[in-house]
Structure 1
Amino acid sequence: MGFVRTPDFEEESLANAKRYIIFDDPIEFFSLKHSDMYLQSFLNHSSESDHLNPIDCENFCKMFKHLRVLNMGSAVLDQYPPGLENLFHLKYLKLNIPSLKCLPSPLCTLSNLQTLDMPSSYVDQTPEDIWKMQKLMHLNFGSITLPARPKNYSSSLKNLIFISALHSSSCTPDILCRLPNLQTLRVSGDLSCYHSGVSKSVCELHKIECLKLVNESKLSRMVLSEYQFPPSLMQLSLSNTELMEDPMPMLEKLPRLQVLKLKQNSYLGRKLACVGSGGFPELKILHLKSMYWLDEWTMGAGAMPKLESLIVNPCAYLRKLPEDLWCIKSLRKLDLHWPQTELRQRLRTFEDMEWRYDIQLYPYRI
């Protein structure tokens, strides 16, 4: 039986509940005196961000020992809730602990945990015992640092497929090679300071499909030529990398790349050139953002044959789009922000072809 919490909900009816969802104030639920129940799922979907009392959280963990899914939602915890390690059936755990900097060792004893969701936590210290969490599949943090695996540990996180934000200091060959099935990874931090480890490690992720590199240092730039990306890559995003070299000649060789997002300050040059015949063979989505000085883009015949969507924001200095772009039969969506008059006039030829192109120019009235 599953229940949705309502103001007139009677405590007695909780006895047979296996799933419980809250849409109102969670503090009201925690203030109730519950009897021991076989509750398996607790989901807080309330929009409230009230702080929960640690004692109430501890009592909650004692009462609901059979939980498999625990989602505290937006409810704020000022500290890691004591007693949580007793919920050894847990497979999914979501907590909102903004102040958490060190991941507690007891958490690593949850051997059945598959998803650890703590998006508001920026963890710079993680216990070595995290390498014992063999069933772990998803790590969702604001940022997390993984420790080097102890020499006496023979295990690896073989089931881990998703890390939302791994600090660049943890991108060493010794660490990433212990994540053999990783598919989605976001790396954030000083990519210049740790470029040797990051560049050597990324190419060892043979099953990686989605990779995001975010440089958080204002004093350094990423050198793309020092990187080797695995051929399995399907989505790539670069942010604040401040590349001085044209990234296209290197990236167009990736055989499976479908989504490329060159975002905020990713490239500082004036020219882009997709010169290889048949370059970007699988690319469907291309976002060029915050390339403030871009004024020339050339593209060879047969490049990007499967492109469907293109966003250029802004394109204040771009005089024209590549002529071969209009030969791509799959192209349907084109968003241009702040196009100069010359480019806007060139696009008038295509604006009337509503049956083929969805062309959006921003702002509308300029």
Structure 2
Amino acid sequence: MASGLANGVLGKLGEIAARAAWNEASLLLNFKNDFKWLEKKLRQICASLQAADEQSEQNKNVKEWLIEVRNIAFDAEDIIDECAVEHLYTNTSQSCVYNCSSLVFRYKMAKRIKELKGRIRATIQEAQDLKLFYDVSHLSLPSTSTSGSERTEELSFLEKDLPAVAVDYKVEEILRLLDNPAFRVVAVVGMGGLGKTFLLQHVFSITKHRYDCSAWISVSQTYSLRKLQCDLASHIDLELASQVSGLGITDVRAAALIHDKLEGKRCLIVLDDIWSRVEGDLISRLGLPTGSSNQCKIVVTTRSRGVAENIDAHIYEMQHLWEGESWDLFCLFAFRNREGNRPPEQLESLAHQIVEECGRLPLAIKTVAASMAKSSLPQEWESKLGQLKKVRNAEDPILNILKLSYDCLPPYLKSCFAYFSFFPEDTQISLSTFKIPSAIYQDYVIYLWIAEGFIPQEKDREQWDIGLDYLHQLENLCLLEVNRVLSCYTVHDLFLDLVVNICKEDECEFDIPVNETRFRRLLLANKGVYTNVISERPLLCKRFLRTLSFSQNPGITSVPEQLLDHVKVLRVIDLSLTAISTLPKCVGKLKLLKVLNLSRTEIKEVPDCVRRLKSLQFLDLSFCTSLQRIPDWIGELKCLSYCNVIRFIKLIEKRMPKGISQLSSLRTLRSDLIPLSTEGNGFFNIKDVCNLIDLLEIRFTLKDARTLKSVEDGILDSLVKMRFLGIENAISTTEGDREESSLPAFPEKMKVMKGLQKLRIVRFSVPSWICGMENLTELFLTECSDYPSLQKMPNLQLLILANDSKCRYLPKNFGERGGFPKLANLQIEDFPLLEELPALEEGAMPRLEFLLIDNCPLVKRVPEGLERLRRLKVIRVVKGEASGELEERLKEGGEDWNKIKANNPRIQIFFE
């Protein structure tokens, strides 16, 4: 396992040494020959790693050799990175290479390189003595990316329609329990890996619309009552004071507020993953109403019958899969690219034996099957069977089976997957911006990987794209679980245990060290750490520290100066969800810092020391409600690629600093709508945006006619790489100056943004050319008009039409044969004059799963042909002023209800 991490780092070093743009930093020129020597020797070491890995468990000397190789890899990377960024701080160029600062740096670096060379020579000699080394001068370094053809096939499971295996009848059993008025609390009990959470996701997705409110809360092993209360409050539209600091109202008062909010309402609350007996009754301490007259339904998942008994729940025991179910599940993941998901004849017998060795446990079956999905050689299947037979007799066979899946990963994915130890248990990695209040974004995971050097730089691909590809690979290997209810990734508890153990071997600390020890990552997220604790225990051996996370510790109100002083190679600082209000000045000395996460803190201003972080790529200031402004000097952060300023206080009347236009590396500006203007009035000037030619994401509003004219004239046509765009027409018009019906056309010059994937348009007339945007997957049209032939968009998956006060009929061609081939989610909201929805011809909207009709009072029936949509799971009608006729036809026994249910009996139909 250690060699996997080392190999990934070595691959990155070899690439740097071979491909570095030497002219970018003159200091690199001084060590060019040294770096070439390092690359050559590191390639030789790489050739020894596989043999060493195979012997490390039995041979102590080999294991120690691997540890030294890993340390050499880290130290070599530090040297190269420090050389690469030094010019950003000294302004060194060819003409002034011999200035004093440069000479001092070169002297120190030459000394370190000399020492490193000596260590490498000794390591190679030891490899020869251990008979690990053999000459492969033409050896290719490990690949860190899939080829173009492979990437085309490597689709995320999110994009596939996978059938649920061995779930349907269990869902029906849980639904019957929820319908029983005698059961207020239901506990799904079973060992880890049986699929408890997966089952409840299905139940939650098809039942939540029956209730006035619903919430999915992950509890985890080391839960915080206040955090659970805040998570619950965010789902039920309740504001709890001091959510970050934990001060203000007490837990008892918070529970009373939650109880009052839910009292008398029909609600569904899922408490996922309660580990052991908790202090008192967790349900009542949260504030959930459970009286006999209450309509609140609570479902928990737990591994412990004691937990279920403690909360007086009706127990539903999860069982292992039956033999046929195990086989079907295995085939679904191992042979998903074959017709009928069935194995070739020469593998069928081996496949059956492998399924038997997985012990009818869904998690083990899925991960083993996914690891074999691209293997067609019988000898590889025989090898896997032999490995499984060995671990079945181990002390913890399930964990050892999962470890086999980890061991099969290529080195670059081993490093990436092990890094999930960075996050606390049950962390949700959101696939969308606003989906889950307490979740992190997938962007953050990718930037952490970039900061650690796990993602290579390629000429023709963005590092972010490569990172997204890695996430999809881990998902398809079933190492990441997809929660389709919340649209997020999670890591199963058993896998988290595995990666934490791996990282402990690779110099990660998960508690503040008491004794002298060497560590490179200190991960204390959600550990109940307080400021006085980190002040009283100075970090030992901190000169090696690369990553520091104090996230989700509201007891941390400040960061002591001595904590970060003399830390030279720190790449990541995560202080999110702490109560800090400022940063120590020494942060400005962190020349290699690439990630700074201050989201949801009490920081009042961005400290001046941050302007000296010339290597910074990722800055998160989202939900910093005390933050007053973004400083103009932000433009000095030349490497900044990602800046998140969503929902910090008012965005100071939504003004952005001029300095942002100087961020030539900026890819993502994640914010609320930013007003654009051509005037020098303090708003974001449209010319500022034009300078951000590599921008991938922005949301803005047009405040005046001159700005709209500039956009129509193509002033933004330099933003050809844009993927996520939100644009709102907010130009005020005097009465009679413009007819309300004559909305301006969406600017045609936007056609240059061919790579757009998500588009949000507010108050524009939608042009027909938008249908040619082949990469668009999500389209939001609010207060728009003139809907063109959107049904021809080949990859559109989500369509939201909202707030149209004039539309009486949607285009009939919306329902034509073959229309909307990939549309899964259609939402029509606030159409007061809409009289009917287009009829659906055979073959229209074949993948539609969710239909929302919200406040369309004149709509009297669902579209004709809707009953043919076999994938449709939910029809949701928010009545508002909805006609009684629509409700009559859709309620149980109604004309439309009978027709739809006859063809699709599992569909759920809800009225709100």
- Normalised TM-score (structure 1): 0.79
Q: Which amino acid aligns with 1:36?
A: H
Q: Which amino acid aligns with 1:162?
A: E
**Greater gyration radius:** 2
1:69-92 CA distance string (max 9 Å, x none): 000121133333212121011110
> Does 1:236 find its partner at 2:764?
no
> Does 1:94 find its partner at 2:620?
yes
Pick from 539, 542, 565: which aligns with 1:12? 539
Q: 1:189 to 1:124 in 2, by over 3 A?
A: farther
Q: Which amino acid aligns with 1:295?
A: E
The within-5 A match list for 1:41-80 is: 41-46=572-577, 50=579, 52-53=581-582, 57=583, 59-80=585-606
The within-5 A match list for 1:129-144 is: 130-144=660-674
Q: 1:68 to 1:32 in 2, by over 3 A?
A: same
Shift of 1:231: 1.9
Aligned to 1:256: 795
Q: Which amino acid aligns with 2:909?
A: Q
Matched residue SS, 1:281: coil
Q: 1:196 to 1:323 in 2, by over 3 A?
A: closer
Q: 1:98 to 1:69 in 2, by over 3 A?
A: same
Matched residue SS, 1:120: coil
Provide the aligned length of Structure 1 versus Structure 2.
342
Aligned to 2:849: 308
> Does 1:33 find its partner at 2:562?
yes
CA distance in 1, matches of 2:811, 2:906: 23
CA distance in 2, matches of 1:101, 1:45: 18
Matched residue SS, 2:909: strand
1:149-190 CA distance string (max 9 Å, x none): 48xx9x953432222x22235662544211111111112351
Pick from 749, 753, 766: which aligns with 1:205? 753
The within-5 A match list for 1:104-253 is: 104-121=631-648, 122=651, 123-127=654-658, 130-144=660-674, 145=676, 146-149=684-687, 157-163=692-698, 165-169=699-703, 172=711, 173-190=713-730, 198-215=746-763, 222-225=764-767, 228=770, 230-232=772-774, 233-239=776-782, 241=783, 243=785, 245=786, 247=787, 249-253=788-792
CA distance in 2, matches of 1:198, 1:225: 6
Shift of 1:65: 3.8
Q: Indicate conservation of the 8 Å contact 1:186/1:212, yes or no.
A: yes
CA distance in 2, matches of 1:324, 1:351: 9
CA distance in 2, matches of 1:142, 1:176: 19
Shift of 1:32: 4.6
> Does 1:358 find its partner at 2:899?
no
CA distance in 2, matches of 1:142, 1:297: 33
- Normalised TM-score (structure 2): 0.34
Matched residue SS, 1:157: coil
Higher helix proportion (structure 1 or 2):
2
Pick from 285, 296, 303: which aligns with 2:825? 285
Shift of 1:307: 2.3
Relative to structure 2, which stretch is displaced further, 30-39 or 226-235? 226-235
RMSD, aligned α-carbons: 3.4
Q: 1:111 to 1:297 in 2, by over 3 A?
A: same
Q: 1:225 to 1:18 in 2, by over 3 A?
A: closer
1:51-106 CA distance string (max 9 Å, x none): 614xxx36153353431100012113333321212101111001255577875342
Q: Which amino acid aligns with 1:269?
A: C
Q: Indicate conservation of the 8 Å contact 1:238/1:266, yes or no.
A: no
> Does 1:332 find its partner at 2:858?
no
Matched residue SS, 1:271: coil
Q: For structure 2, list consecutive stretches of 5 or more residues without a partner in the other structure.
A: 1-519, 677-683, 734-741, 880-885
Aligned to 2:213: none
CA distance in 2, matches of 1:306, 1:202: 29
Aligned to 1:218: none
Matched residue SS, 1:186: strand
Aligned to 2:813: 275
CA distance in 2, matches of 1:253, 1:183: 20
Q: Indicate conservation of the 8 Å contact 1:70/1:94, yes or no.
A: yes
CA distance in 2, matches of 1:273, 1:267: 16
Q: Which amino acid aligns with 2:640?
A: L
Q: 1:44 to 1:195 in 2, by over 3 A?
A: farther
Q: Indicate conservation of the 8 Å contact 2:605/2:630, yes or no.
A: no
Aligned to 2:78: none
Shift of 1:2: 1.7
Higher strand proportion (structure 1 or 2):
1
Q: 1:13 to 1:295 in 2, by over 3 A?
A: farther
CA distance in 1, matches of 2:825, 2:560: 50
Q: Indicate conservation of the 8 Å contact 1:161/1:184, yes or no.
A: yes
1:182-210 CA distance string (max 9 Å, x none): 11111235168797585234333221111
CA distance in 2, matches of 1:160, 1:195: 27
Matched residue SS, 1:311: strand
Q: 1:44 to 1:64 in 2, by over 3 A?
A: same
1:319-342 CA distance string (max 9 Å, x none): 111222222344333222335223
Q: Indicate conservation of the 8 Å contact 1:204/1:230, yes or no.
A: no
Identity %: 19
Matched residue SS, 1:42: strand
CA distance in 2, matches of 1:208, 1:320: 34
CA distance in 2, matches of 1:84, 1:326: 58
CA distance in 2, matches of 1:304, 1:130: 42
Q: Indicate conservation of the 8 Å contact 2:777/2:797, yes or no.
A: yes
